Amino acid sequence: MVRIASALGVVMLSVALIILSLISYVSIKRDNIFTTPKYAGSGAPRMYMFHAGFRSQFAMKFLDPSFIPLTNALNEELQEKPSKWQFNRTAFLQQRKEILRYIDVAKNFTLTKSGVRVGQLMHYDYSSHKYVFSISNNFKSLLPDASPVLNKHYNVCAVVGNSGILTGSQCGPEIDKSDFIFRCNFAPTEIFQKDVGRKTNLTTFNPSILEKYYNNLLTIQDRNNFFLSLKKLDGAILWIPAFFFHTSATVTRTLVDFFVEHKGQLKVQLAWPGNIMQHINRYWKTKHLAPKRLSTGILMYTLASAMCEEIHLYGFWPFGWDPNTGKELPYHYYDKKGTKFTTKWQESHQLPTEFKLLYKMHEEGLTKLTLSHCA
């Protein structure tokens, strides 16, 4: 009886899989997401990838309208390992030139002392024009005299996104070999160093992090914790977008006070970009990428393109399953076990569309996108 039931189960599962494969094939054909001319042989792994795609397709069916199914292009890529990837310097230099046509990276990187005056009212890139932030003496005192990236050139840079795909990737040593490492949103590295590396040369810091992880610096303990986190970044750049959202205003004041109080004790270099998103957006719009908000990751790629001779991307993968194994993934590599994959970003980001573009750039040799294990 049990045997019959399980046999029936296997048959039903197989039929379901075949039907699903057909549906997926059709939808991939229709969407034509990645443009690869050829379909490789119908090996088992491909079937498996389709399967992996489905799970997620089901999970996100109504949540994620722009869901991108996996295709053979990506599948092949993952099987052949990144060894096949070749840098196309000509294409990269051409992209840099284009980016620099829209964005003065060294200038947009940070406001400088001489570029602002006390009492000047700043607006916010993503908030109503009615919201303002008055530049104080203290704020001005924290600005650098000159852009810290003016005339800076690095050979190979890593831009590390925070995707859960990094979990178990063992990419840490490879990332640490880079000449300059960009990270996003003050992501922790220490306890994940095997997978994400331990070095940091720049990390972004949305002022709201103070609210979320440091209790607005209300207690001595909170202040100590924050101080210790900053100490670990000695020499690195803390890139603080304080003028994107008006909701940052209060925490920005708390942050400014803290830095003024601890000046001299901290060696982290502060960078405070002004209203730069309109400029960044203009370039990506030419690539048909025009979401309400670009991700921090692609913003870092934009800045890196002017400073780096070659850019390698890690932790860029916005989906809830591992493309190598089909297993479920957390959204961030540092999310607590059991955290549900979040699709909250869809309110404003278009991560699948961004991913599609970055993947195309990878195929063209502009940048290397790592999606598999490094070891």
Ligand X SMILES: *[C@@H]1O[C@H](CO)[C@@H](O)[C@H](O)[C@H]1NC(C)=O
What residues numbered 270-299 form the site for ligand X, per CB under 6 A?
Answer: 274-276, 279
CA distance 349 to 245: 15
Rule CB under 6 A: say whether 164 interacts with ligand X.
Answer: no
Q: Which of 61, 81, 104, 146 binds ligand X (CB under 6 A)?
A: 104
Rule CB under 6 A: say whether 91 interacts with ligand X.
Answer: yes
Q: What are phi and psi of 283, to 5 degrees?
A: -65, -50
Binding mask 221-260 for ligand X (x = CB under 6 A): ----------------------------------------
What residues numbered 169-188 form the site for ligand X, per CB under 6 A?
Answer: 179-180
Residues 6+ apart with CB under 8 A from 184: 160, 161, 162, 203, 204, 296, 297, 300
Active-site residue 349, yes or no? yes
Rule CB under 6 A: say whether 88 interacts with ligand X.
Answer: yes
Q: Which is nearer to ligand X, 9 or 115 (CB)?
A: 115
Q: Which of 72, 169, 189, 200 binds ligand X (CB under 6 A)?
A: 200
Rule CB under 6 A: say whether 73 interacts with ligand X.
Answer: no
- Which tokens sit at 104? 């003065």
Q: Which is nearer to ligand X, 88 or 372 (CB)?
A: 88
Rule CB under 6 A: say whether 123 interacts with ligand X.
Answer: no
Q: Which of 49, 78, 103, 294 binds ligand X (CB under 6 A)?
A: 103
Closest distance of CB 92 from ligand X, Å: 8
Helix axes 44-59, 72-80, angle to 10 degrees: 120
Rule CB under 6 A: say whether 197 interacts with ligand X.
Answer: no
Closest distance of CB 103 from ligand X, Å: 5
Closest distance of CB 118 from ligand X, Å: 17
Q: Which is nearer to ligand X, 100 or 374 (CB)?
A: 100
CA distance 161 to 297: 6
List 246, 312, 332, 349, catalytic entry: 349
User: What residues are labeled active site?
Assistant: 349
* Binding stretches for ligand X (CB under 6 A): 88, 90-91, 94, 102-104, 107-108, 154, 179-180, 199-201, 274-276, 279, 365
